[in-house]
């Protein structure tokens, strides 16, 4: 096949640029456009041809932007006529293609549309690039007339213009779209209006902020419509202040603040920038305003302010850390509370006035300065010393000494930071100081302690050792070596396991394991070691574990104390305990242990259980009060009081309930001790005295029976003897008469004895009934003297009656006479022949009656005095033989007087005689024992008048104190009146207070006696008086306390 006879158009020289220019038109393959269609229509009509085209030459094709006369939209560039045309500067005209070499066999010529004529105007851009052509085609041969030719060229120019305009429009449209997108999505709100003031732009944020889409409203309604307010959030913005309006009117709006506050939304502060807009030719086309959310900005500013305030607060509140800021020169600009505390200066004293140099130790600054100067090779001193390194590395820490305002030194750790601004310029310094004085002191102390420990370790009196985790002794002190009998080297060569008694090893190792496991911090153990000599050493071992900083065990520290002796003592104690336990259990007397607080029984022995009928478990569930009948509560309270004050309670009798509800009499005695757990417990001895009482009763009955039974034969004997000696049974020879009289006298004595026995019996049994009444004193005493005359006569003793005999005494007449008989007969018997026995009666200030019987006999031996009122007491054997007495007289007398509410007492001086006295009340209402009214009375027997005055002062308000300087005075006072308490010194000018006590206690056993002495008080006496107080500085409180307690009941009565 032969090549068709035509030529493909060659490429222009600027083909690539031409193609770029063409493509930049963005026109290829675009839809038909009216302007271009009109253009080709015009060309076709003007030139009167069937076909007209706007053909654009693409890389490989010609594409028709507009066409008429053909249907094809493009053809190959190779067969195109236009491809040739674009190479021309002028119109390219082919009059008969069949004749042209380049086209003769072109398919467009040889085939449809059978081109014969072609004319194309190149479409050339302003830059000389040819896009294509405006061409006309005819299937007939033609020649283009000149007029049509120039018209075609003009149409070509128009086509180029159309293409350029089209291109420019496209660019403008793209720009506008971009600007729209930009405006729509920009982070500021944008509003704009056109030249008429009509709103034409309202971007997304603006819509969002205003809450509505823009509507066409006149400017004067904008504020209301768009919810615009003044920054105060409440005043509607005046129209003339609306930024867009201002901008529209030509104002430059720069940062004016308004508030957008749509209904039901929070107000938004916005900052507005606005300008009028002008077209390129300077015409006013509208205005635009850009709004920025000022609230967010404000919030950020506030946030920053808050952060700064927060930091300031932290600085101020740092009371333990000193924070000081300075400016670049060192002048203090900030001085916080911590700094004030540390340094003692106030912020006002320093800020803006001083540099930190003023509270640093000058010597330290100098030393540091020298050091730094040497390093830096220039002089560094003063404030620069602190900041030199901070400047180099921006932060520096070191230890310094601060000098407080008061001169005290504090060791501190100081960190200095250089403060820099945004550009890295140093603006000042921040010094943060932490006081470590205490910490350093503690470290020093710890070091010292370690040293001391080392010293103590070596010299400790108890054994000490460091023991490795395996048990090896790693350090031992002398005491331990000595205790265990090894020398140091021997001990260090062994381990503790080896010398531990096998029976104690397991428990020791177990504790060590617990220690290592951290379950316990230390332990203590009584264990046994083997002494080198093979003996057993009991030791108290205390072990602690030393750990390193990470907590890993390092070694044990052991303290080992030899407790062998204690242990032995303990064994002895245990043995003793066992023995005592045995005693407790086997004791025939009941023993109980009570809780002092609750009265609960804690323990009871077999004897007590037997008495009460309970078993042990039942009994220890009981309280003391469960076994005590109600009526004994008062007695119990007394015992409890004694327990509290004396730590023991004295014998008293009461009853206990048995389990079966019956009662039995017991005698109790006990003491209070501290139990192991610190509770007060009471040990009580509980003696079942029912048997004892039965025997007592039997004895009393026996005495009573025997005495009665004796009377019957006595009646006969004495009667018979009387009758005989009086010759009733016939005359009696003189030799027999004397014998008869002896028999008669002794039978009389027997009768008296029996009478006395019966009296004692009655008194003891409480069966003595007295007929107390006012008795005429004078008659009674005279009768007594009269009836005693016969008795006194044989002894050649005269009885003299004297004193104040007026009035009455309140007594049992017969029994008072009996007592006086007894006293008088004793006096007569003691008196030497020819002496006088006086019976004297007196009245006291209290209106009591004192009857005294005074003799001038031998006196009563001191040794006998304490026993004088006891039954069967007799001065000595001689007496009882020489004078017929029963030894019961004074015992009976004392009891009788006591029953009459009186007191009996005596004084006696050996070789000079005795004085017995009776004090009796003179009327029924009173009693000589208890004074009717007034404060309690205390007799203070003390020869030191000054001390007496002190005591009197101390007891003021508690009791009325009378002082007796001598025993004699004391006796006189005690005889005179009743005292509620006697304070007794033992050393007195005329004898010992002890003797006074003996007698006094005999006469008035109910009245408490307190020994107040500067000397050792005899144990026997101390145990029997109510209290003993030693004269010393502390005696005051103790005394008032004791007196208050002993006479408490009386004081309370007032």
Partner 1 sequence: MKPLKKVLHVEDDPSIRTIARLAIEVVGGLTLLSCEDGRSALVQVEEFSPDLILLDVMLPDMDGPAILKALQAQMDLAQTPVLFMTAKVHKTELNRFQALGAFGVIPKPFDPMTLAQTLREHHKRFHSGC
Interface positions with partner 1 (CB under 8 A): 708, 711-716, 718-720, 722-723, 726, 728-729, 751, 762, 767, 769, 771
Minimum separation from the CB atom of position 739 to partner 1 (A): 18
Between 164 and 884, CB nearer to partner 1: 884
Between 751 and 873, CB nearer to partner 1: 751
**Per-position DSSP letters for 401-465, written without gaps between them:** EEE-TTS-EEEEEEEEEEEE-TTS-EEEEEEEEEE-HHHHHHHHHHHHHHHHHHHHHHH-SSEEE
User: If DSSP codes are grouped into helix, strand and coil, which group holds residue 54?
Assistant: strand
Minimum separation from the CB atom of position 699 to partner 1 (A): 19
Minimum separation from the CB atom of position 812 to partner 1 (A): 9
Which two tokens mark 145?
């007339």
Helix H or strand E encompassing 49: none
DSSP character at residue 240: G
Minimum separation from the CB atom of position 638 to partner 1 (A): 32
Which two tokens mark 101?
């070499």
In 587-654, alpha helices (H)? 606-612, 616-619, 633-646
Minimum separation from the CB atom of position 720 to partner 1 (A): 6
Which two tokens mark 826?
């004793």
Minimum separation from the CB atom of position 782 to partner 1 (A): 22
In angstroms, the CA 182 to CA 171 distance is 16
In angstroms, the CA 379 to CA 364 distance is 16
Minimum separation from the CB atom of position 767 to partner 1 (A): 8
In angstroms, the CA 829 to CA 792 distance is 8
What's the angle, vertex CA 184, arms to CA 182 and CA 186, rounded to 5? 60
Minimum separation from the CB atom of position 769 to partner 1 (A): 5
Between 353 and 723, CB nearer to partner 1: 723
Helix 889-899 and helix 734-765, axial crossing angle in degrees, nearest 10 = 40
User: If DSSP codes are grouped into helix, strand and coil, which group holds residue 861?
Assistant: coil
Minimum separation from the CB atom of position 777 to partner 1 (A): 22
Q: Residue 853 pairs with which residues in a beta bridge?
A: 839, 916
Minimum separation from the CB atom of position 974 to partner 1 (A): 32
Block residue for tokens 């005590």? 628
Q: Residue 843 pairs with which residues in a beta bridge?
A: 849
Between 171 and 736, CB nearer to partner 1: 736
Minimum separation from the CB atom of position 826 to partner 1 (A): 24
In angstroms, the CA 91 to CA 89 distance is 7
Minimum separation from the CB atom of position 770 to partner 1 (A): 8
Between 452 and 708, CB nearer to partner 1: 708
Between 687 and 812, CB nearer to partner 1: 812
What's the angle, vertex CA 326, arms to CA 324 and CA 331, rounded to 5? 120
In angstroms, the CA 664 to CA 142 distance is 171
Contacts of 894 (CB under 8 A, 6+ apart): 869, 904, 1002, 1003
Minimum separation from the CB atom of position 901 to partner 1 (A): 18
Between 434 and 751, CB nearer to partner 1: 751
Question: How many of the other CB atoms lie within 10 Å of CB of 83?
Answer: 25
Sign (positive or negative) of CA dihedral 149, 153, 159, 162: negative
Q: Residue 542 pairs with which residues in a beta bridge?
A: 524, 559
Between 759 and 985, CB nearer to partner 1: 759
Minimum separation from the CB atom of position 918 to partner 1 (A): 22
Minimum separation from the CB atom of position 1028 to partner 1 (A): 45
Minimum separation from the CB atom of position 726 to partner 1 (A): 6
Between 774 and 926, CB nearer to partner 1: 774
Between 346 and 771, CB nearer to partner 1: 771
Minimum separation from the CB atom of position 710 to partner 1 (A): 9
Between 253 and 817, CB nearer to partner 1: 817
Which two tokens mark 798?
């005269």
Between 721 and 792, CB nearer to partner 1: 721
Is the CB of residue 464 less than 8 Å from the CB of residue 560?
A: yes
**261-264 — which CB contacts under 8 Å span 24+ positions?**
261/227, 261/229, 261/233, 262/209, 262/210, 262/211, 262/212, 262/227, 263/211, 263/227
In angstroms, the CA 153 to CA 91 distance is 7
Between 641 and 726, CB nearer to partner 1: 726
Between 168 and 716, CB nearer to partner 1: 716
Measure the CA dihedral 1031/1037/1038/1044, to 10°.
130
In angstroms, the CA 657 to CA 639 distance is 19
DSSP character at residue 918: E
Between 487 and 728, CB nearer to partner 1: 728
CA nearest to 274, candidates 284, 288, 286: 288
**468-471 — which CB contacts under 8 Å span 24+ positions?**
468/555, 468/556, 469/516, 469/553, 469/554, 469/555, 469/556, 470/495, 471/495, 471/496, 471/497
Between 319 and 771, CB nearer to partner 1: 771
Task: Provide φ and ψ at 226, rounded to 5°.
Answer: -95, 10
Contacts of 787 (CB under 8 A, 6+ apart): 817, 821
In angstroms, the CA 666 to CA 608 distance is 11
Between 750 and 1017, CB nearer to partner 1: 750
Between 38 and 771, CB nearer to partner 1: 771
Minimum separation from the CB atom of position 899 to partner 1 (A): 13
Contacts of 368 (CB under 8 A, 6+ apart): 385
């Amino acid at each position: 096949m032969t090549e068709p006879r035509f030529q493909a158009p060659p490429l222009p020289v600027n083909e690539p640029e031409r193609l770029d220019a063409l493509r930049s038109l963005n026109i290829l393959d675009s839809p038909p456009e009216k302007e271009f269609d009109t253009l080709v229509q015009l060309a076709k009509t003007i030139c009167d041809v069937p076909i007209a085209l706007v053909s654009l030459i693409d890389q490989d094709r010609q594409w028709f932007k507009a066409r008429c006369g053909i249907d094809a939209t493009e053809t190959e560039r190779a067969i195109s006529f236009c491809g040739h045309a674009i190479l021309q500067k002028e119109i390219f005209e082919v009059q008969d293609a069949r004749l042209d070499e380049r086209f003769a066999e072109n398919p467009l010529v040889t085939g449809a549309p059978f081109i014969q004529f072609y004319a194309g105007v190149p479409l050339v851009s302003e830059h000389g690039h040819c896009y294509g052509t405006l061409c006309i085609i005819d299937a007939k041969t033609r020649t283009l007339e000149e007029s049509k030719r120039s018209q075609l060229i003009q149409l070509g120019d128009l086509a180029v213009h159309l293409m350029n305009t089209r291109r420019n429009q496209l660019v403008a449209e793209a720009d506008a779209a971009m600007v729209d997108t930009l405006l729509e999505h920009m982070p500021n709100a944008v509003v704009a209006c056109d030249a008429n003031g009509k709103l034409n732009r309202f971007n997304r944020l603006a819509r969002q902020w205003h809450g509505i889409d823009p509507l066409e409203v006149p400017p004067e309604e904008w504020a209301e419509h768009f919810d615009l307010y003044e920054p105060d959030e409440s005043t509607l913005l005046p129209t003339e202040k609306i930024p867009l309006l201002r901008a529209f009117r030509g104002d430059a709006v720069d940062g004016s603040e308004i508030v957008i506050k749509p209904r039901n939304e929070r107000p938004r502060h916005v900052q507005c920038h606005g300008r009028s807009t002008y077209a390129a030719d300077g015409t006013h086309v509208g205005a635009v305003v850009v709004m920025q959310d000022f609230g967010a900005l404000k919030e950020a500013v506030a946030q920053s302010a808050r952060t700064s305030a927060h930091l300031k607060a932290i600085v101020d509140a740092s009371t333990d850390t000193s924070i000081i800021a300075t400016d670049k020169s060192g002048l203090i600009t900030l001085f916080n509370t911590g700094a004030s505390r540390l340094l003692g200066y106030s912020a006002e004293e320093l800020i803006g006035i001083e540099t930190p140099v003023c509270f640093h130790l000058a010597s330290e600054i100098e030393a540091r300065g020298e050091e730094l100067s040497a390093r830096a090779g220039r002089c560094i001193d003063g404030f620069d010393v602190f900041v030199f390194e901070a400047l180099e590395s921006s932060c520096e820490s070191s230890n310094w000494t601060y000098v407080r305002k008061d001169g005290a030194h504090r060791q501190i750790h100081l960190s200095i930071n250089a403060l820099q601004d945004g550009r890295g310029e140093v603006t000042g310094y921040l010094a943060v100081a932490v006081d470590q004085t205490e910490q350093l002191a503690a470290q020093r102390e710890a070091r010292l302690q370690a040293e001391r420990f080392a010293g103590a370790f070596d010299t400790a009196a108890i054994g000490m050792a460091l023991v490795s985790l395996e048990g090896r002794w790693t350090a031992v002190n002398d005491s331990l070596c000595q205790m265990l009998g090894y020398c140091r080297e021997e001990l260090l060569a062994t381990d503790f396991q080896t010398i531990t008694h096998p029976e104690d090893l397991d428990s020791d190792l177990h504790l060590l394991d617990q220690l290592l496991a951290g379950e316990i911090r230390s332990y203590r153990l009584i264990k046994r070691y083997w002494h080198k000599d093979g003996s057993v050493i009991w030791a108290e071992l205390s072990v602690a574990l030393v750990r390193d900083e990470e907590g890993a065990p390092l070694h044990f520290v052991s303290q080992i104390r030899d407790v062998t002796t204690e242990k032995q003592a303990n064994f002895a104690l245990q043995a003793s305990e066992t023995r005592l336990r045995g005693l407790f259990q086997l004791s025939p007397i009941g023993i109980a242990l009570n809780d002092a607080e609750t009265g609960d029984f804690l323990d009871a022995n077999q004897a007590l259980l037997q008495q009460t009928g309970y078993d042990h478990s039942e009994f220890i569930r009981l309280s003391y009060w469960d076994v005590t009948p109600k009526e004994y509560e008062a007695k119990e309270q007394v015992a409890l009081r004694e327990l509290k004050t004396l730590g023991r309670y004295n014998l008293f009798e009461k009853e206990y309930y048995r389990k079966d509800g019956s009662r039995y009499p017991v005698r109790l005695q006990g003491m209070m001790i501290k139990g192991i757990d610190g509770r007060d417990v009471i040990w009580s001895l509980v003696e079942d005295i029912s048997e004892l009482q039965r025997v007592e009763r039997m004895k009393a009955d026996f005495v009573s029976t025997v005495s009665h039974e004796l009377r019957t034969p006595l009646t006969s004997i004495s009667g018979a003897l009387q009758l005989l000696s009086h010759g009733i049974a016939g005359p009696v020879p003189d030799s027999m008469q004397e014998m008869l009289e002896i028999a008669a006298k002794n039978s009389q004595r027997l009768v008296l004895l029996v009478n006395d026995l019966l009296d004692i019996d009655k008194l003891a049994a409480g069966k003595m009934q007295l007929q107390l009444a006012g008795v005429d004193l004078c008659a009674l005493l005279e009768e007594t003297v009269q009836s005693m005359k016969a008795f006194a006569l044989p002894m050649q003793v005269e009885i003299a009656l004297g004193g104040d005999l007026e009035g009455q005494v309140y007594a049992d007449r017969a029994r008072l006479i009996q007592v006086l008989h007894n006293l008088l007969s004793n006096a007569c018997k003691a008196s030497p022949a020819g002496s006088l026995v006086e019976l004297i009666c007196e009245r006291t200030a209290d209106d009591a009656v004192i009857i005294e019987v005074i003799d001038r006999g031998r006196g009563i031996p001191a040794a006998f005095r304490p026993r004088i009122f006891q039954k069967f007491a007799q001065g000595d054997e001689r007496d009882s033989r020489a004078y017929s007495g029963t030894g019961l007289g004074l015992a009976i007398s004392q009891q009788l007087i006591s029953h009459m509410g009186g007191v009996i007492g005596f004084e006696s001086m050996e070789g000079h005689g005795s004085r017995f006295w009776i004090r009796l009340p003179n009327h029924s209402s009173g009693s000589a024992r208890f004074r009717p009214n007034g404060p309690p009375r205390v007799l203070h027997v003390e020869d030191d008048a000054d001390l007496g005055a002190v005591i009197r002062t101390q007891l003021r308000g508690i009791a009325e104190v009378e002082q007796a300087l001598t025993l004699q005075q004391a006796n006189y006072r005690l005889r005179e009146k009743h005292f509620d308490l006697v304070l007794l010194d033992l050393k007195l000018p005329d004898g010992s207070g002890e003797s006074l006590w003996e007698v006094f206690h005999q006469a008035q056993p109910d009245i408490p006696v307190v020994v107040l002495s500067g000397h050792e008080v005899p144990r026997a006496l101390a145990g029997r008086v109510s209290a003993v107080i030693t004269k010393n500085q502390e005696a005051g409180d103790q005394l008032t306390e004791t007196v208050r307690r002993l006479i408490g009941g009386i004081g309370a009565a007032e």
